[in-house]
Each structure stands twice: as structure tokens, then as C-alpha cells.
């Protein structure tokens, strides 16, 4: 391997983890190449919440101020969940205890990625789009890893970091297909969306959704809500679990999309009872 100041690092995957890692390395003077399969850094994922540990990591690698400056959320605050019954009356079930310095942050994923792209340190980071990794092999002569992409191109580096998700080609290259257990369906679907707070109030919801994240729990269903965009929008994540078949027995085909658009009627049907 080359001297520390000349190390070539490549990160496969330009999501939250990939870009955060790139910035952390760049701030230490390590130039990084980030390879992302998509055409651009998108906003799939709606809102995301950062707990106390994640906030501490952002602070430790020096990008918390960049995130707060670029995003809609002006400050960090306590983000511990309040758990309510999903039944009529919505009784408070549990108030998650926290320490005064356990602070969190909620914001849109696209806003966070925008903040990362504008953060100090990205000047040492080169991003490459339309680059889907198919495998990583080691050069016979040098032993250095070579990334192979779907478009037929390659990239050689000293270190390759995989941040390419649950279908990671980098992970498969490390552990092999034999050791890689097939992904199975958990029998749980997750519906995600963003709803303006005024629409929620107009619907008659009286529970305070702006102070802290809220989770409504019921039989085989739970609903997570937390504010983003300065409290003007509520991030809604609705989970449903189907117990008509044994959990974990249905393989998940790699060629099927995992994220699809569905109608509001489908979600309402799942929560009709």
C-alpha cells in the first residue's frame, strides 16, 4: 500500500453513510472517490431521524454545523419517542426516558444529502454517477482491489469501502455467494409519506406531533410520526405485518423492486380496523 498521504480510497454507494464516510476521510486529508449507481443523489426515503448517538457522530466528524446550516431544522432537541395506544382514546403507554444531553434531529433525506454535498471536505471528494458495482476483485500483480462496474469500466484503489445497501456487491465480493444468506421477507410492509401538519390538524388529530416523535402501536401494526421542515410537515411511516404465513420463509427475488408507489386507498385498507 502507498504512504498514508497517497492512499486511494473508493466508496461504493453515495447515500447517507457513503457521503458521511467520504467527508470524514476528506477532513483528514484523504481524497475519496464515491461511486453511485443512480443518476443523482435523490430524495427516496422521505424523512429520517437522527438519535443521540448519530448526532454525536456528526459532531465528532465535524459536519453537524454544516447539516444544521444547510437544512430546515434550526436546532437539535430531545427526540425520544412517546408511545401511544392505537386504540380509541390513544392512551400514553410509555415515555422513553432520556438524559438532558440526549439530543436528536429530524429532517428530509434529500436535505441531509444536500447538506453533505455542501459540507467542508467535499472538495477532496470526487463523485461518479451511473456507476453500479458488479464485483470487486484483486489485481494479481499488486493485490489492490479493482471495482468492476455494470458499464464495463473499472477503478483501482488501495481501499474499497462498501456502502451499497442490502444488495451490496462489495459485501458479496468479500464473503462470497456461499456465505451470503438469502434475504427473506419479514412479512412486514412499510408505507412512507409526508403530510402537511395543517392537513393533520384539519383531520381532527389532537395529539401533539411537533414536540417529540410519536409511535402509535396496535396489533401487528404501528405508526411512527415525527416533524421535519420546521414542523410544517410530518413524516409518516406506517408498518403492517402479515402473519398468514410463517415469518422469514419467503425469499426476496433480487430482480424485484423493493420500493414502489402505492395508492392511499391501499394504506387505508390496511388500517381499516
Each residue's pLDDT tens digit, 204-218: 988 889 888 899 999
Q: Are residues 143 and 211 in the same domain?
A: no
93, part of any domain: no
Which residues pair with residue 92 across a beta bridge?
84
Q: Are residues 170 and 199 in the same domain?
A: no
* Residue among 80, 153, 174, 67 nearest 111 (CA): 67
Consecutive H or E run containing 241:
strand 233-241
CB atoms under 10 Å from CB of 99, counted, come to 9
Q: Tell me, what's the pLDDT at 120?
A: 66
Compute CA 104 distance to the chain's CA centroid, rounded to the nearest angstrom: 15
Q: Tell me, what's the pLDDT at 135?
A: 95
Q: Are residues 212 and 249 in the same domain?
A: yes
Over residues 85-101, the mean pLDDT reads: 88
Over residues 6-26, the mean pLDDT reads: 90
Q: Tell me, what's the pLDDT at 26?
A: 87
CB atoms under 10 Å from CB of 227, counted, come to 21
Q: Tell me, what's the pLDDT at 94?
A: 94
3-state secondary structure of 181: coil
3-state helix, strand, coil in the chain (%, to 5): 25, 30, 45
96, part of any domain: no
Domain range for 199 is 188-270
Cell (9 digits) for 271:
388500517
Q: Are residues 135 and 264 in the same domain?
A: no
Q: Are residues 126 and 205 in the same domain?
A: no
Long-range contacts of residues 257-263, Cβ cutoff 8 Å, at least 24 apart:
259/44, 262/191
CB atoms under 10 Å from CB of 215, counted, come to 19
What CATH number is associated with residue 140? 3.50.50.60
Q: Are residues 25 and 133 in the same domain?
A: yes
Domain boundary among 179, 208, 242: 179
160, part of any domain: yes
Q: Are residues 175 and 192 in the same domain?
A: no
Per residue in 223-254, pLDDT tens? Answer: 999 888 888 999 899 999 988 888 877 776 66
114, 129 Cβ separation under 8 angstroms: no
pTM for the model = 0.77
Q: Tell me, what's the pLDDT at 89?
A: 85
Mean pLDDT value across the chain: 85
* Residue among 175, 166, 165 nearest 136 (CA): 175
Q: Are residues 30 and 140 in the same domain?
A: yes
Cell (9 digits) for 90:
390513544
* Residue among 67, 81, 76, 62 nearest 24 (CA): 62
Q: Tell me, what's the pLDDT at 1?
A: 44
140, part of any domain: yes
CA distance 56 to 103: 9
Domain boundary among 120, 151, 179: 179
Q: Are residues 59 and 118 in the same domain?
A: yes
Q: Are residues 133 and 241 in the same domain?
A: no
Quote the number of domains for the chain.
Answer: 2
Domain boundary among 179, 197, 228: 179
Over residues 178-200, the mean pLDDT reads: 84
94, part of any domain: no
> What is residue 77's DSSP assignment?
B
* Residue among 270, 245, 256, 112 nearest 191 (CA): 270
Q: Are residues 47 and 123 in the same domain?
A: yes
Per residue in 99-155, pLDDT tens? Answer: 888 888 877 787 888 888 877 667 778 999 999 999 999 998 888 999 999 999 999
Amino acid at each position: 500500500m502507498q504512504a498514508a498521504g497517497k492512499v486511494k480510497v473508493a466508496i461504493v454507494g453515495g447515500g447517507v453513510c457513503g457521503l458521511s464516510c467520504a467527508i470524514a476521510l476528506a477532513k483528514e486529508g484523504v481524497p475519496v472517490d464515491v461511486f453511485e449507481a443512480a443518476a443523482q443523489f435523490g430524495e427516496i426515503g422521505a424523512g429520517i431521524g437522527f438519535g443521540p448517538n448519530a448526532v454525536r457522530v456528526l459532531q465528532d466528524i465535524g459536519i453537524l454545523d454544516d447539516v444544521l446550516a444547510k437544512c430546515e431544522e434550526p436546532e437539535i432537541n430531545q427526540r425520544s419517542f412517546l408511545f401511544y395506544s392505537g386504540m380509541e382514546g390513544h392512551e400514553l403507554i410509555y415515555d422513553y426516558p432520556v438524559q438532558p444531553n440526549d439530543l436528536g434531529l429530524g429532517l428530509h433525506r434529500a436535505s441531509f444529502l444536500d447538506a453533505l454535498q455542501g459540507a467542508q471536505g467535499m472538495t477532496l471528494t470526487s463523485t461518479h454517477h451511473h456507476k453500479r458495482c458488479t464485483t470487486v476483485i484483486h489485481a494479481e500483480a499488486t493485490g489492490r482491489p479493482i471495482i468492476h462496474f455494470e458499464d464495463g469500466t473499472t477503478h483501482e484503489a488501495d481501499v474499497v469501502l462498501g456502502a451499497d445497501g442490502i444488495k451490496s456487491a462489495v459485501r458479496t465480493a468479500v464473503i462470497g455467494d456461499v456465505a451470503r444468506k438469502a434475504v427473506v421477507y419479514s412479512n412486514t410492509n412499510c408505507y412512507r409519506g409526508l403530510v402537511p401538519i395543517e392537513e393533520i390538524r384539519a383531520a381532527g388529530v389532537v395529539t401533539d406531533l411537533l414536540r417529540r416523535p410519536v409511535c402509535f402501536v396496535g396489533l401487528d401494526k404501528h405508526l411512527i410520526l415525527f416533524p421535519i421542515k420546521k414542523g410544517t410537515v410530518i413524516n409518516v411511516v406506517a408498518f403492517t405485518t402479515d402473519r398468514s404465513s410463517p415469518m422469514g420463509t419467503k425469499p426476496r427475488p433480487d430482480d424485484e423492486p423493493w420500493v414502489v408507489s402505492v395508492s392511499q386507498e391501499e394504506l387505508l385498507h390496511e388500517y381499516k380496523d
